[in-house]
């Protein structure tokens, strides 16, 4: 059961999300490559997961009773690494090794380099299938009332992949109630805006037609995020998906809602501007 969300906790989560966004900027500037818009846009959801929702133990990342987090859209891994560092899975200073030769923080998550990750990811479309395999194995081990949850992050552009819909169909058929998929509905992908590249709407109706419990939320509102996960946990006859409407590049006006920042990092000057804007927002 998720703990009650107090005003004090919201303030703490807000500060943590800002720190994660600052870490993302620093990582990308140092690396000189990587994705900007998606990681910044998802910082609030990752903060909610790693600092309020998921059962985990950073000092024992293979704890058998942990919830699992599966990142399908692996290119947004800077936000995953930053959240994990601030949660204690690695030193924050290690974030500066992003994309460097031999680092555990590869440009796409690689479990052989960083065993605290649940999966490796790179090719889009495979994360939900991986989560289904884990959930089916968990059903064999712990039964249909297993306390574990499998949180799976997907990008909206990633929904162009046919494998995603095969997985959606299968999870609905198996009634995998402990899968909670979160779709980053930021409306951009590397080639442009999603509704220009490959229209997704009516997205809610599509998931419902495959026997999923569907919610749509503001992906930057901690009350919405945590309430939606609580509702998903209470559904016992089907998997759940949360369509989270987010602003790509959230927190830095220059980056917001511009698909060109999907796969482009800031340079040193742009990074300093972004850090100043994020720091200023904490005092407003």
pLDDT tens readout for residues 168-226 = 999 999 999 999 999 999 999 999 999 999 999 999 999 999 999 999 999 999 999 99
Strand segments, DSSP code E, in 114-219 are 150-155, 179-185, 188-189, 192-193, 213-218
Average pLDDT over every residue of 33-48: 98
Residue 1: band (very low, low, confident or very high) from pLDDT cuts 50, 70, 90: confident
- For 117, half-sphere exposure in the C-beta direction (CA atoms, 13 angstrom radius) is 22
Q: Taking the CB of residue 140, how many other CB atoms lie within 10 A of it?
A: 8
Domain assignment present for residue 208? The answer is yes
For the chain, how long is the longest CA-to-CA vector?
54
Cis peptide before 249 (omega within 30 of 0): no
Question: Quick one: which of 225, 114, 135 has its CA closest to 178?
Answer: 135
| pTM for this prediction | 0.97
pLDDT of residue 155: 98
Average pLDDT over every residue of 112-125: 95
pLDDT of residue 192: 96
Alpha-carbon distance of 120 to 211, in angstroms, equals 28
pLDDT of residue 45: 98
**Does an H or E element contain 242, and which?**
strand 240-245
Domain assignment present for residue 152? The answer is yes
What Å distances lie between residue 172 and 46, 93, 182, 244, 261, CA to CA?
25, 42, 15, 20, 34
Q: Domain span at residue 113? A: 7-282
If you ran DSSP here, which 8-state letter would residue 113 be given?
T
Q: What is the pLDDT of residues 119-164, one digit of tens each?
A: 999 889 999 999 999 999 999 999 989 999 999 999 999 999 999 9
Task: Give me the sheet containing 213-218, strands edge to edge.
Answer: 68-71, 150-155, 179-185, 240-245, 213-218
Q: Which residues contact 83 (CB under 8 A, 6 or more apart)?
A: 20, 43, 46, 47, 49, 50
Average pLDDT, rounded, for the chain: 97
Domain assignment present for residue 142? The answer is yes
Domain assignment present for residue 1? The answer is no
Q: Which two tokens stand for residue 111?
A: 């479990």
Is it the case that residue 284 has pLDDT exceeding 90? no
pLDDT of residue 39: 98
What Å distances lie between residue 156 and 26, 48, 186, 235, 259, CA to CA?
26, 20, 7, 23, 13
User: Residue 5 in contact with residue 52, Cβ under 8 Å?
Assistant: yes
User: Residue 74 in contact with residue 153, Cβ under 8 Å?
Assistant: no
Residues linked to residue 215 through DSSP beta bridges, in sequence order: 242
Question: Quick one: which of 48, 40, 34, 104 has its CA closest to 266?
Answer: 34
pLDDT of residue 237: 96
Domain assignment present for residue 2? The answer is no
Average pLDDT over every residue of 52-69: 97
Question: What is the domain count for the chain?
Answer: 1
Domain assignment present for residue 271? The answer is yes
Helix (H, G, I), strand (E, B) or coil at 64: coil
Domain assignment present for residue 231? The answer is yes
Q: 144 — phi, psi (to 5°)?
A: -75, -15
Output the domain CATH number for residue 141: 3.40.50.970
């Amino acid at each position: 059961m998720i703990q009650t969300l107090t005003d004090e906790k919201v303030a703490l989560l807000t500060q943590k999300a800002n720190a994660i966004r600052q870490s993302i900027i620093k990582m990308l500037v140092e690396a000189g490559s990587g994705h900007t818009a998606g990681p910044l846009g998802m910082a609030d959801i990752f903060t909610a997961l790693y600092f309020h929702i998921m059962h985990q133990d950073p000092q024992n990342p293979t704890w058998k009773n942990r919830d699992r987090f599966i990142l399908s859209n692996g290119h947004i891994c800077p936000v995953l690494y930053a959240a994990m560092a601030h949660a204690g899975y690695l030193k924050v200073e290690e974030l500066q090794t992003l994309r460097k030769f031999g680092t555990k923080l590869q440009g796409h998550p690689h479990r052989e380099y960083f065993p605290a990750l649940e999966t490796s990811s790179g090719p889009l479309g495979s994360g939900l299938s991986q989560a289904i395999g884990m959930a089916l194995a968990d059903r064999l081990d712990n039964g249909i009332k297993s306390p574990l949850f499998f949180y799976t992050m997907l990008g909206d552009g990633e929904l162009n992949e046919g494998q995603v819909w095969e997985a959606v169909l299968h999870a609905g058929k198996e009634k995998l109630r402990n899968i909670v998929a979160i779709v980053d509905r930021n409306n951009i992908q590397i080639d442009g805006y999603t509704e220009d590249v490959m229209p997704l709407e009516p997205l809610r109706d599509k998931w419902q037609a495959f026997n999923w419990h569907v919610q749509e939320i503001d992906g930057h509102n901690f009350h919405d995020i945590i309430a939606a996960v609580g509702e998903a946990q209470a559904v016992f006859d089907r998997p759940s998906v949360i369509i989270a409407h987010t602003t790509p590049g959230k927190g830095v006006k220059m980056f917001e809602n511009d698909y060109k920042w999907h796969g482009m990092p800031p340079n040193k000057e742009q990074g300093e501007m972004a850090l100043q804007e994020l720091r200023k927002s904490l005092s407003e």
